[in-house]
């Protein structure tokens, strides 16, 4: 990777890879958050979410750069002081929920593509994620970059094809449907739980050396993270009156295109997003543990990285089976959204900015 890409675009690509599986890979999340506001209201809500992401990421990247806090334990000690562990509890709960959703999705997709048992798909996702986490941060950066590049290509083709196939329906929906209510709240709450993936990006902030780089990288990360979702949402508006009742909007739209080969290409992209998000979020756990080893003047055992991650994924799959996936999503996402607004978004945009204006406070916070 050249320096420009590594400093300005890589953080946004890593953020997008962490967000997508829990944010809009199937389209159902977009329906839940934005469809009630209508076509235009939904897009306005997504703009709100994007702006919140960019604002929080700009401050977070600069805080992490100045303090050299490249793992979330160090970062939240800086931000929340002795209350840093509150984020860790919430982050672990979020990982369990997201991994449970991803395991179920991987099972469904592999079953539809290959006819294999759903458990096989879930276990394959766990194995692929664990294997990648055995490798270094540099290898993970390259994998996430390549897979996100493929993802962007698929989503661009998807929206162009949708516009050609049922563009008149998309245009009619935007022209006829009124601007709905609560689009601002939808954007804020959507940003709330997704921005919790910031720890997944911290490891690549090592490449940033100046404030200007951190600010630009953070500003770009919001649009880079939201663009595929915007494209997906526009395509869904071709069936605005029907899509709300559909469990998997992606499968619904692919069936309307009547192109089995593209369905394969899209489903492979979705499978990649599941692995991407798993790798990004679990790598943040590994970096946090590695920091503890470093403080003790030791190296984290290489095999502990995939072992720890696989253990968390197995717990997540069992949680989904025991609690019920629907209840897990409905209750977990709703509560954690507001938790992350309180312990992440508000502190970053208040305490974070205050500390950046008084650099000596950053150093004193690190020693806590």
Average pLDDT over residues 234-257: 86
With beta carbons less than 8 A apart as the criterion, state whether 319 and 96 touch. Answer: yes
pTM score: 0.85
Rg (CA), the chain: 20
pLDDT of residue 329: 56
Indicate if the pLDDT at residue 133 is higher than 90.
no
Average pLDDT over residues 301-325: 74
Question: What is the Cα–Cα distance from 240 to 38, expressed in whole angstroms?
Answer: 8
| Residue 260 to residues 74, 112, 257, 317, Cα–Cα distance (Å) | 47, 12, 9, 30
Other C-beta atoms within 10 Å of 178: how many? 10
The mean pLDDT value of the chain amounts to 85
DSSP string, 188-237: HHHHHHHGGGGGGTGGGGGG--SHHHHHHHHHHHHHHHHHHHHHHHHHHG
pLDDT of residue 98: 78
| Residue 269 to residues 43, 113, 146, 155, Cα–Cα distance (Å) | 23, 13, 11, 9
Indicate if the pLDDT at residue 252 is higher than 80.
yes
Name the more confident of 24 and 31: 31
Inter-axis angle of helices 304-323 and 85-114, nearest 10 = 80
Indicate if the pLDDT at residue 73 is higher than 80.
yes
pLDDT of residue 212: 95
Average pLDDT over residues 20-42: 84
Average pLDDT over residues 140-166: 87
pLDDT of residue 183: 93
pLDDT of residue 327: 55
User: Which residue's entry shows tokens 């915007």?
Assistant: 230
Name the more confident of 348 and 200: 348
Q: For 264-300, write each residue's pLDDT tens digit.
A: 888 888 888 888 888 888 888 888 898 888 888 888 8
| Residue 235 to residues 102, 230, 256, 327, 353, Cα–Cα distance (Å) | 23, 9, 11, 29, 38
b/e map 118-135, b = 16+ CB within 10 Å: beebbbbbbebbbebbeb
Q: In CATH, what is the architecture of 3-365?
A: Up-down Bundle (1.20)
User: Which residue's entry shows tokens 């997504």?
Assistant: 46
pLDDT of residue 25: 74
Confidence of residue 65 (pLDDT cuts 50, 70, 90): very high
- Half-sphere CA count of 225, side-chain side, radius 13 A: 36
Q: Which of 130-134, 269-273, 315-319, 340-344 has the lowest mean pLDDT?
A: 315-319
pLDDT of residue 146: 87
Question: What is the Cα–Cα distance from 107 to 117, expressed in whole angstroms?
Answer: 7
**Alpha carbon 27 to chain centroid, angstroms:** 14
User: How is the chain split into domains, by residue range?
Assistant: 3-365
Indicate if the pLDDT at residue 1 is higher than 70.
no
pLDDT of residue 58: 96
Indicate if the pLDDT at residue 315 is higher than 90.
no
Residues contacting 324, CB < 8 A, separation 6+: none
Indicate if the pLDDT at residue 110 is higher than 60.
yes
pLDDT of residue 322: 56
pLDDT of residue 86: 92
pLDDT of residue 245: 83
pLDDT of residue 142: 86
Q: For 164-223, write each residue's pLDDT tens digit.
A: 998 899 999 999 888 888 899 999 988 887 888 888 899 899 999 999 999 999 999 999
pLDDT of residue 219: 96
Q: For 357-367, write each residue's pLDDT tens digit.
A: 876 666 555 54
Residue 142 — φ and ψ, nearest 5°? -65, -45
pLDDT of residue 143: 85
Residues contacting 131, CB < 8 A, separation 6+: 306
Using left for φ > 0, alpha for ψ between -120 and 50, and beta otherwise, residue 28 falls in alpha
pLDDT of residue 7: 92
Q: For residue 247, with 0-12 CB atoms within 10 Å meaning exposed, 13-18 middle and 19 or more buried, which class applies? A: exposed
With beta carbons less than 8 A apart as the criterion, state whether 225 and 15 touch. Answer: yes
């Amino acid at each position: 990777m050249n320096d420009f890409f590594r400093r300005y675009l890589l953080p946004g690509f890593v953020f997008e890879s962490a967000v997508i599986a829990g944010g809009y890979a199937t389209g159902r999340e977009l329906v839940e958050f934005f469809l009630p506001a209508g076509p235009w209201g939904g897009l306005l809500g997504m703009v709100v979410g994007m702006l919140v992401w960019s604002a929080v990421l700009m401050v977070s990247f600069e805080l992490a750069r100045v303090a050299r806090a490249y793992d979330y334990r160090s970062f939240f000690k800086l931000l929340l002081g002795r209350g840093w562990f509150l984020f860790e509890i919430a982050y672990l709960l979020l990982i369990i929920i997201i991994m449970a959703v991803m395991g179920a999705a991987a099972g469904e997709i592999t079953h539809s593509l290959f006819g294999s048992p759903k458990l096989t798909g879930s276990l394959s996702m766990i194995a692929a994620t664990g294997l990648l986490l055995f490798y270094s941060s540099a290898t993970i950066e390259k994998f996430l970059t390549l897979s996100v590049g493929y993802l962007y290509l698929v989503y661009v083709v998807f929206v162009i094809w949708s516009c050609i196939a049922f563009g008149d329906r998309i245009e009619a929906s935007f022209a006829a449907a009124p601007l709905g209510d609560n689009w601002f709240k939808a954007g804020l709450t959507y940003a709330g739980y997704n921005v919790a993936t910031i720890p997944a990006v911290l490891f690549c902030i090592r490449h940033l050396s100046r404030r200007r780089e951190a600010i630009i990288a953070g500003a770009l990360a919001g649009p880079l993270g939201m663009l595929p979702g915007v494209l997906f949402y526009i395509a869904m508006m071709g069936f605005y009156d029907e899509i709300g009742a559909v469990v998997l909007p992606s499968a619904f739209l692919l069936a309307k295109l009547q192109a089995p080969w593209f369905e394969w290409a899209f489903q492979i992209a979705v499978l990649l997003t599941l692995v991407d998000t798993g790798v990004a979020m679990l790598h943040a756990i590994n970096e946090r543990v590695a920091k503890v080893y470093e403080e003790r003047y030791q190296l984290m055992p290489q095999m502990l990285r995939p072992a720890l991650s696989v253990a968390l994924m197995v717990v997540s799959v069992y949680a989904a089976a025991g609690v019920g996936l629907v209840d897990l999503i409905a209750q977990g996402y709703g509560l954690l959204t507001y938790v992350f607004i309180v312990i992440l978004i508000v502190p970053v945009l208040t305490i974070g900015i205050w500390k950046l204006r008084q650099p000596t406070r950053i150093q004193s916070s690190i020693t806590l």
